[in-house]
Structure 1
Amino acid sequence: MRAFIALPLPPSDAEVLEAMADRLDVGRAVPSENMHLTLAFLGDVPEAELREVAEALETLAPPAFSFRLSGVQSFGPNETGPSLALAVDPVPGALKDLHDRVRSRCHGAGLVLERRRFRPHVTFARLPARLTTEEDNKLAAFLRHEGAMHVDDIPAREVVLYESILTKDGPVYEPLAEFPLA
Structure 2
Amino acid sequence: MVRLFIALTLDDSLRARLSGLEAGIPGARWAPAQNLHVTLRFLGETEEGLAREIDAALLSVRAEPFTLPIAGLGVFGGERRPRLLWAGVEKTPALTLLKGRIDAALRGLGVGPDEHVYSPHISLARLKTPDPERLRRFVEANNLSVRGSLTVTSFSLFSSLLTGEGPLYREEAVYPLAAYRPEALDQTALKESPLTQKL
TM superposition score normalised by structure 1: 0.88
Q: Which amino acid aligns with 2:14?
A: D
List structure 1 runs of 4+ shifted beyond 3 angstroms. none
Q: Which amino acid aligns with 1:57?
A: L
Distance 1:34 1:24 in 2: 20
Shift of 1:6: 0.3
Q: Are residues 165 and 120 of structure 1, via their aligned partners in 2, closer, same or farther at CA, if it must alter by over 3 Å?
A: same
> Could you say which residue in structure 2 is the equivalent of 1:168?
164
Q: Are residues 69 and 24 of structure 1, via their aligned partners in 2, closer, same or farther at CA, if it must alter by over 3 Å?
A: farther
Mark the runs of 5 or more structure 1 residues left unpaired by the alignment: none
Q: Which amino acid aligns with 1:127?
A: L
Q: Are residues 113 and 47 of structure 1, via their aligned partners in 2, closer, same or farther at CA, if it must alter by over 3 Å?
A: farther
**Which stretch of the first structure deviates more once superposed, 144-153 or 156-165?**
144-153
Give deviations 1:15-72, integer Å, cap 9, x for gaps. 111111x123330211111111111000111111011011000011311111111121
Percentage of pairs with the same residue: 30
Distance 1:141 1:73 in 2: 12
Q: Which amino acid aligns with 1:151?
A: R
> Could you say which residue in structure 2 is the equivalent of 1:99?
99
Distance 2:167 2:24 in 1: 20
> Could you say which residue in structure 2 is the equivalent of 1:41?
42
Of structures 1 and 2, the larger Rg is shown by 2
> Could you say which residue in structure 2 is the equivalent of 1:127?
127
SS of the residue corresponding to residue 23 of structure 1 reads coil
> Could you say which residue in structure 2 is the equivalent of 1:3?
4
Number of residue-to-residue matches in the alignment: 173
Q: Which amino acid aligns with 1:180?
A: P
> Could you say which residue in structure 1 is the equivalent of 2:189?
none
Distance 2:144 2:107 in 1: 37
Structure 1 residues 21-36: aligned runs within 5 Å: 22-26=22-26, 27-36=28-37
Give deviations 1:135-176, integer Å, cap 9, x for gaps. 334312211201333332211121111111111111111111
> Could you say which residue in structure 2 is the equivalent of 1:149?
145
Conserved 8 A contact 2:74-2:139: no
Q: Which amino acid aligns with 1:153?
A: S
Q: Which amino acid aligns with 1:35?
A: L
More helix by proportion, 1 or 2? Answer: 1
Shift of 1:76: 4.8
> Could you say which residue in structure 1 is the equivalent of 2:65?
64
Q: Which amino acid aligns with 1:10?
A: D
Mark the runs of 5 or more structure 2 residues left unpaired by the alignment: 179-199
Conserved 8 A contact 2:73-2:86: yes
Q: Which amino acid aligns with 2:8?
A: L
Shift of 1:113: 3.7
